[in-house]
Structure 1
Amino acid sequence: MAKQSTLDKSITKFIKPKHWLTWLGMGIAYLLSFLPWSILQSLGSVFGRFLYLISPRRRHICNVNFKICYPDMTKTKRKQLTKEHFESMGKGVLETFASWFQNKNRFSSRVTFEGQEVIDQVLSKGRGCILISGHFSSLDICGSQVPRILDVHPIYKLQKNPVINWIMERQRKAIFTKTIERRNMREVLKSLKKNKAVWYAVDQDYGRQDSVFAPFYGRECATIAHIGRIAKMTNAPVVLYDYGRTATGYHLAFTEVPDFPTADDVTNAAKMNELMESIIAPKKEQYFWAHRRFKTQVNKGDPSPY
């Protein structure tokens, strides 16, 4: 089924038997969302260890990524980091349920912010701003906290499962004043013109179209090029949004990216990848290593490392 927005569709469109299993899963997710934070974290670790056992393909992808990004890392360390990654992702799944089905302020006392003054300064210019971030396991729970200090319009990707889309799009609409499907460039420009922030996660491989090749951990990989182009077109400041899980909650930090963009797409992409490396380093296990970041090759005929 083609990926389509479900915002204009009634729930009655998704009550056919083929959707019942997904609804059962979402019912369980709803119940899990009520767990206290400490239990959510513990159960998330257990769930992550289960995912590790049943996901050989994802384990393989992680191992390949670690070989590329950390060539000096031993096999034992790669295996350990993969296990830690899956535990972090297990926590992230349960945190996502909490962000979808619970009040966004439920865990607000566990959240710390850094860089409020950066946000205030860039928005004082009246040109909006572009937040750039990576994919970490706490993406949804941390993202739900950003509106406490900033009216941000996140860019999102539609999911294949229409029931998941129906729930996800409505829950995010309840948190954010506006969400933008990633192909809708017109709405991105409208938001910036209204001095709003738009939020892009810039670290995934979307293929050759609208991408350039730039180094990420020393290897050329397809990197989206339109962030620099939008910034040049609108003169909107670009802000690095770093977020992650701590021992007691979550930390969100905002830093303006200096001297960005340049006139060159590859230079801009390389800078973004360098920034991603800098925010991955302190919390490697939380990064989404199960994504095939290097699947698109510079030369079309070259084999995939996966």
Structure 2
Amino acid sequence: MAKQSTLNKSIFKFMGPKHWLSWFAMGIAYVLSFLPWSLQQVLGKYLGRTLHAIAKRRRHICDVNLKICYPEMSDTERKNLTKAHFESMGKGTIETFSSWFQSQKKFQSRITFEGQDIVDKVLAKGRGCILISGHFSSLDFCGSQMPRFIDAHPIYKLQTNPVMNWVMERQRKAIFSKTIERTNMREVLKSLKQNKAVWYAVDQDYGRKNSVFAPFYGHQCATIAHIGRIANMTNAPVVLYDYGRTKNGYLLKLTEVENYPSQDDVENATRINELMEKVIEPKKEQYYWTHRRFKTQPIHGDPSPYDK
């Protein structure tokens, strides 16, 4: 099924029988979003354990990624980290429901934000800024909190399921002053010209066409090249957005990336990957290890490490 925006489409377009199961799932998600935070965390943990038991393919991808990135890790350590990762992803699933269906103010007492001085500094330059982050399990939840501190315009990827798209796109429209589909470069440049923050998650494999190869945990990895290109084109400051789950809530932190970009795409991509490694290490279990980060190989035609 083609991935299409649902923003201009009525809900009635998605009320046919083929969508009933998706709406049922959205109904469960809505109910779960009302649970107390502590209970959501427990429920998410056990949801993650269930996924760990049944999601054989995702478990395999996680295991391959950990072997590539942490070759010194023992089998026991890797298995424990994999289990912790799935528990974290389970929690993230329940948190996503809260970000979709609950007011962001409901959780503000659990949010610690560091970087208001960075916001003021970079936007005072009048060129907007480029926020860069990785994919962690609390992505949707922490992302929904960001507009409280900075007017961020997130870059997003459409989902295959149209019902999920319908809910997701409207939720984000209600929270963010603007969202940008990832292929719409014109809107990216417009937002920066309006002195807004454009938010990219920069750590996924978007294929050979849109990437250069740069080291990630010591292995050549397809890394998007246009962060440095946009920064060079617009002179917009680049800001690292680090976020994650803590014992009693969430920490959101902004840090300006100094001496970036250079004129070399590979050098810029290498810097991006180094920053991602830095924010992954303190909270390894929260990172998206179930994404096929190394699927595009430097030599065209070489098999993916995830092929069995």
TM class, shorter-length: over 0.9
Name the CA distance, whole Å, in 2 between partners of 1:305 and 1:145.
Answer: 36
Question: Aligned AA for 1:39?
Answer: L
User: For residue 2 of structure 2, what is the aligned residue in structure 1?
Assistant: 2
Question: Aligned AA for 2:94?
Answer: L
2:176 is equivalent to residue 149 of structure 1: no
Name the CA distance, whole Å, in 2 between partners of 1:225 and 1:4.
Answer: 25
Question: Aligned AA for 2:104?
Answer: K
Name the CA distance, whole Å, in 2 between partners of 1:301 and 1:90.
Answer: 35
Name the CA distance, whole Å, in 2 between partners of 1:181 and 1:303.
Answer: 30
Following superposition, the deviation at residue 301 of structure 1 comes to: 1.8
Q: What is the TM-score with the length of structure 2 in the denominator? A: 0.99
* Residues 11-65 of structure 1: CA deviation (Å, up to 9, x unaligned): 0110111100000000000000000000000000000000001101111101100
User: For residue 58 of structure 1, what is the aligned residue in structure 2?
Assistant: 58
User: For residue 269 of structure 2, what is the aligned residue in structure 1?
Assistant: 269
Task: Kindly report structure 1 stretches of 4+ aligned residues shifted beyond 3 Å.
Answer: none
User: For residue 187 of structure 1, what is the aligned residue in structure 2?
Assistant: 187
Name the CA distance, whole Å, in 2 between partners of 1:301 and 1:197.
Answer: 38
Following superposition, the deviation at residue 303 of structure 1 comes to: 1.3
Following superposition, the deviation at residue 127 of structure 1 comes to: 0.1
Alignment of 1:201-216 (within 5 A): 201-216=201-216
Following superposition, the deviation at residue 302 of structure 1 comes to: 1.1
Following superposition, the deviation at residue 200 of structure 1 comes to: 0.2
User: For residue 36 of structure 1, what is the aligned residue in structure 2?
Assistant: 36
Name the CA distance, whole Å, in 1 between partners of 2:105 and 2:176.
Answer: 13
Q: What is the TM-score with the length of structure 1 in the denominator? A: 1.00
Name the CA distance, whole Å, in 1 between partners of 2:141 and 2:161.
Answer: 21
Question: Aligned AA for 1:210?
Answer: N
User: For residue 117 of structure 2, what is the aligned residue in structure 1?
Assistant: 117
Name the CA distance, whole Å, in 2 between partners of 1:198 and 1:301.
Answer: 34
* Residues 134-157 of structure 1: CA deviation (Å, up to 9, x unaligned): 000000110111111100000000
Name the CA distance, whole Å, in 2 between partners of 1:86 and 1:36.
Answer: 21
User: For residue 175 of structure 2, what is the aligned residue in structure 1?
Assistant: 175
Name the CA distance, whole Å, in 1 between partners of 2:245 and 2:162.
Answer: 29
Name the CA distance, whole Å, in 2 between partners of 1:137 and 1:87.
Answer: 10
Following superposition, the deviation at residue 115 of structure 1 comes to: 1.2
* Residues 95-145 of structure 1: CA deviation (Å, up to 9, x unaligned): 000000000111110000111101110000000000000000000110111
User: For residue 199 of structure 1, what is the aligned residue in structure 2?
Assistant: 199
Name the CA distance, whole Å, in 1 between partners of 2:35 and 2:131.
Answer: 31
2:36 is equivalent to residue 21 of structure 1: no
User: For residue 93 of structure 2, what is the aligned residue in structure 1?
Assistant: 93
Name the CA distance, whole Å, in 1 between partners of 2:50 and 2:122.
Answer: 44
Question: Aligned AA for 1:87?
Answer: E
Name the CA distance, whole Å, in 2 between partners of 1:211 and 1:302.
Answer: 17
Name the CA distance, whole Å, in 2 between partners of 1:104 and 1:19.
Answer: 28
SS of 1:144's partner is: helix
User: For residue 133 of structure 2, what is the aligned residue in structure 1?
Assistant: 133
Q: Structure 2: where are the runs of 5+ without partners?
A: none
SS of 1:68's partner is: helix
User: For residue 259 of structure 1, what is the aligned residue in structure 2?
Assistant: 259
Name the CA distance, whole Å, in 1 between partners of 2:39 and 2:192.
Answer: 40
Name the CA distance, whole Å, in 1 between partners of 2:146 and 2:302.
Answer: 41
2:88 is equivalent to residue 75 of structure 1: no
Name the CA distance, whole Å, in 2 between partners of 1:3 and 1:252.
Answer: 31
Question: Aligned AA for 1:274?
Answer: E
* Residues 151-204 of structure 1: CA deviation (Å, up to 9, x unaligned): 000000000001100000000001000000000000000000000000000000
Name the CA distance, whole Å, in 1 between partners of 2:70 and 2:147.
Answer: 35
Name the CA distance, whole Å, in 2 between partners of 1:210 and 1:82.
Answer: 30
The CA RMSD over aligned residues, in Å, is 0.4
Name the CA distance, whole Å, in 1 between partners of 2:187 and 2:289.
Answer: 30
Following superposition, the deviation at residue 278 of structure 1 comes to: 0.1
Q: Structure 1: where are the runs of 5+ without partners?
A: none
Following superposition, the deviation at residue 235 of structure 1 comes to: 0.3
Following superposition, the deviation at residue 300 of structure 1 comes to: 1.1
Give me the identity figure in percent.
74
